[in-house]
Amino acid sequence: MQNFRFYVPTDIRFGTDRLSELPEALSSIGKRVLLVYGGGSIKKSGLYDKVQQQLVKGGFEVVELSGIEPNPKIHSVRSGVKLIRKHQLEVILAIGGGSVIDTAKVIAAGVFYEGDPWDLVVDSSKIKQALPIVDILTLAATGTEMNRNAVISNADTKEKLGTGGAELLPHVSFLDPTTTFSVSKWQTAAGAADILSHLFEQYFNRTKAVQVQDNIAEALMKVVIDFAPVAFENPDDYGARANLLWASTLALNGLVGNGRSGGWTCHPIEHELSAFYDITHGIGLAILTPRWMAYCITHDPSTHEKFAKYGEAVWGLTGDSQAEIARKAVRTTYEFFEDQLEIPMTLQKVGIETTELVDEMSQQAVVHGELNTDGPFVRLDEEAVKSIITSCFEEMTLN
């Protein structure tokens, strides 16, 4: 286990019927609010009206920035920064999933930066200060509600990049499982794949003696595996939604990642798919992940031990050798996405019809993700990434 600092002072308010706490949570920070949200879903669900009632009751001055898209774009960040400066706002209230909260984070930092906020995405060291953020989460997926990270896309440059800083950690996050009841099957599946991918990215790692972190990763994987199919079938199952929501937060708040170093793999590759094709992030991850796993166990037998551990601890698999259990684990992961969550498991099925951009995406992934280094669990050069992405155009076979 390596040295680490764990300092995550986000105030989590978990559960139902807590919006009456919103005025108190905001007013200790400021009375002039930028309200950031996405499309009409929070209006349809009634959440928008409930929040407005509290804001009116609390006497807040509110300016709205709506229309935040999935794979949120830098132009939304620029708009938010302008609104805050124009109206001298003091706090950001973000209502939505990861896209909305990530946008709020970079807006919060952009206010204190003189240049174009895209600079803060390209180079996180330029983030020095940020407005406080309060959020109301509506999707179990990214974990942004309790961490320092944000991912923003730039349509002009075809880039989707992560940034982060201690200043971006939300002050208060409201996590109400009932706000996720209206999440579609598609987004429920994508969210589950995103949570699992966060756990995989941290768990498949070479640092020794991180059993606390690994055991917690397995614990949370089992939650997703048990409850994502329940939420998929019964969207209003409170217990399933609550467990998924809390697991999504803990999967990426430092508990699993601290005490070790190493890079991520599937996320950087998926970011290229989303940057070039704007597909749903979690779905892209579900398609990529089993192929990446298959690549690992096929090309690097030293990975069999950890994949076998995963198969045994998370899926209860057995076998005559680590290689066999590892192979079963990869196959089981693929089948979970395909059978339990009904995710379309090839790129054609999500609208990526040809391989014409595979070379360019692979090149970018290696650069942005630093994949051809000792960071990732298995080092990947451009050819390796190409073979992984290319394999996503066919049903996975793994004998």
Instruction: Indicate the pairing of strand 133-137 with strand 91-96.
Output: parallel
- Which pair of structure tokens corresponds to residue 286? 């579900």
- Which pair of structure tokens corresponds to residue 248? 């999504």
Query: What distance lies between CA 268 and its chain's CA centroid?
Result: 12
Q: Given the rule CB under 8 A, which of 5-13, 189-197, 279-287, 298-306 is the region that contacts a copy of itself? A: 5-13
Q: Given the rule CB under 8 A, which of 2-10, 45-53, 156-164, 192-200 is the region that contacts a copy of itself? A: 2-10
Question: Cβ 380 to a copy of itself, closest distance in Å?
Answer: 29
Output the CA torsion sign for 7, 9, 203, 212. Answer: positive
DSSP label at residue 336: I
Question: Cβ 212 to a copy of itself, closest distance in Å?
Answer: 5
Instruction: Indicate the pairing of strand 61-65 with strand 11-14.
Output: unpaired
Q: Given the rule CB under 8 A, which of 74-82, 112-120, 217-225, 373-381 is the region that contacts a copy of itself? A: 217-225
Torsion on CA atoms 35, 37, 143, 331, rounded to nearest 10:
180
Q: Torsions phi, psi of 62, nearest 5?
A: -125, 130
- Contact pattern for a copy of itself over residues 239 through 258, marking x by CB under 8 A: xx-xx--xx--x----x--x
Give the number of residues in contact with a copy of itself, rule: CB under 8 A.
44
Q: Given the rule CB under 8 A, which of 7-15, 63-71, 122-130, 283-291 is the region that contacts a copy of itself? A: 7-15
Question: Is the CB of 139 or the CB of 151 nearer to a copy of itself?
Answer: 139
In the numeric block, the tokens 């589950």 are attached to 192
The HSE-up count of residue 58 (CA atoms within 13 Å, CB side) is: 24
Question: Is the CB of 201 or the CB of 218 nearer to a copy of itself?
Answer: 218
| From 86, 114, 115, 211, residue interacting with a copy of itself (rule: CB under 8 A) | 211
Helix, coil or strand: residue 390: helix
| From 26, 199, 220, 396, residue interacting with a copy of itself (rule: CB under 8 A) | 220
CA distance 139 to 98: 8
- Contact pattern for a copy of itself over residues 171 through 190, marking x by CB under 8 A: ------x-------------
Q: Residue 288's closest CA among 307, 315, 265, 306?
A: 265
Is there binding between residue 227 and a copy of itself (CB under 8 A)? yes
In the numeric block, the tokens 């609208």 are attached to 351
In the numeric block, the tokens 């019964």 are attached to 234
Question: Cβ 273 to a copy of itself, closest distance in Å?
Answer: 30
Q: Residue 17's closest CA among 60, 58, 54?
A: 54
Site for a copy of itself in 105-144 (CB under 8 A): none
Question: Cβ 173 to a copy of itself, closest distance in Å?
Answer: 10
List residues binding a copy of itself (CB under 8 A).
1-18, 177, 208-212, 215-216, 218-220, 222-223, 226-227, 238-240, 242-243, 246-247, 250, 255, 258-259
